Each structure stands twice: as structure tokens, then as C-alpha cells.
């Protein structure tokens, strides 16, 4: 019951917030704080795991590569991941900085960099993998069409 109350409260909170003011060019300080906030996001915790799996798959798909070539491929993957993560940080950071004030960004970064939030991000990839495995196959379009079919008799295959 307590969890439900927290979820309901959290779901209602964004509706009460004023719409964001979008600036075309955030200040350098806001952009830097936006990037720090972006670095603390869930996607940044997940990307290294996805990249590691994709890299392992790529190496496994090419058994003809020598051990040295496999090592070079893995190094290339690390470099590519670092460049991609930097682009993501910049893109998300700029988007945050356009929509949040410097004060808001500072407060959000302070909260995101707390030890508890760091622990949360550290366990999120494993939690997501476990939850997705427990849920099984998810196909939103199929589920919506099936529910609509039951309700209306349309979109049935």
C-alpha cells in the first residue's frame, strides 16, 4: 500500500510542475551541469553492458580472427563506446540545460551524485535484466491489438 501511495504521488508530481522554458543556447555552466546530470542517468549504466554483450557477440561471430585481432576489435569497441557515450552526454546534457535552470540542475546533480543514487545506478542493469527475464516476452502493439480486439471485435487476426 505504501508503494502504491509513493507511485501515485510520483505520477502526480510532474503534472503539477510548470511547463519547462526552453532556451536556445544554455550557458556553459548550465551545459556542464547538464552533462553531469546526463552521466548519472540510467542509460549510462546500461550502455557498457549492452556494448560488452555486442562486442562478445561480434567476436564470437568472427572465429577467424586471431587473438591479436580479437583484442584489437575489443579495443575498437571500447573506443567506439567512449565516443558514443560522450556524444550522448553532450546531447542529453544540452537538452537538460535548455529546459532546467542552473539551480535546478545543481540540485538534481547533487541528488544524483549521492551514494544511494550511485548504488541504485550500479544495480539497475542487473535489476532490469532480472525483471525483463521474469516478465517474459513483451509486445506492446500485439497486446494493445489483442485488447482492442476483445473490446471491439476489430484488429483481430
- Quick check: is 88 in a domain? yes
Q: What is the pLDDT of residue 14?
A: 53
- Quick check: is 34 in a domain? yes
Q: Which domain holds residue 88?
A: 25-152
C-alpha cell at 97: 540545460
- Quick check: is 20 in a domain? no
- Quick check: is 75 in a domain? yes
Q: Residue-wise pLDDT tens for the chain (157 aa)?
A: 333 333 334 444 455 666 667 777 899 999 999 999 999 988 888 899 899 999 999 999 999 999 999 999 999 999 999 999 999 999 999 999 999 999 999 999 999 999 999 999 889 888 988 988 898 888 889 989 999 999 999 999 8
- Quick check: is 16 in a domain? no
Q: What is the pLDDT of residue 24?
A: 79
Instruction: Determine if the pTM surpasses 0.85.
Output: no
Number of independent structural domains in the chain: 1
- Quick check: is 54 in a domain? yes
- Quick check: is 31 in a domain? yes
- Quick check: is 111 in a domain? yes
Amino acid at each position: 500500500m505504501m508503494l502504491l501511495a509513493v507511485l501515485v504521488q510520483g505520477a502526480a508530481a510532474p503534472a503539477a510542475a510548470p511547463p519547462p522554458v526552453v532556451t536556445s543556447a544554455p550557458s556553459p555552466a548550465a551545459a556542464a551541469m547538464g552533462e553531469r546530470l546526463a552521466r548519472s542517468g540510467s542509460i549510462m549504466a546500461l550502455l557498457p553492458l549492452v556494448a560488452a554483450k555486442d562486442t562478445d557477440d561480434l567476436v564470437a561471430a568472427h572465429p577467424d580472427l586471431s587473438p591479436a585481432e580479437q583484442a584489437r576489435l575489443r579495443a575498437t569497441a571500447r573506443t567506439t563506446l567512449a565516443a558514443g557515450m560522450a556524444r550522448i552526454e553532450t546531447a542529453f546534457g544540452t537538452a537538460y540545460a535548455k529546459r532546467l535552470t542552473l539551480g535546478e540542475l545543481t540540485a538534481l546533480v547533487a541528488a544524483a551524485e549521492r551514494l544511494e543514487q550511485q548504488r541504485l545506478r550500479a544495480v539497475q542493469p542487473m535489476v532490469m535484466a532480472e525483471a525483463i527475464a521474469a516478465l517474459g516476452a513483451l509486445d506492446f502493439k500485439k497486446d494493445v491489438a489483442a485488447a482492442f480486439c476483445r473490446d471491439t471485435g476489430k484488429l483481430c487476426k
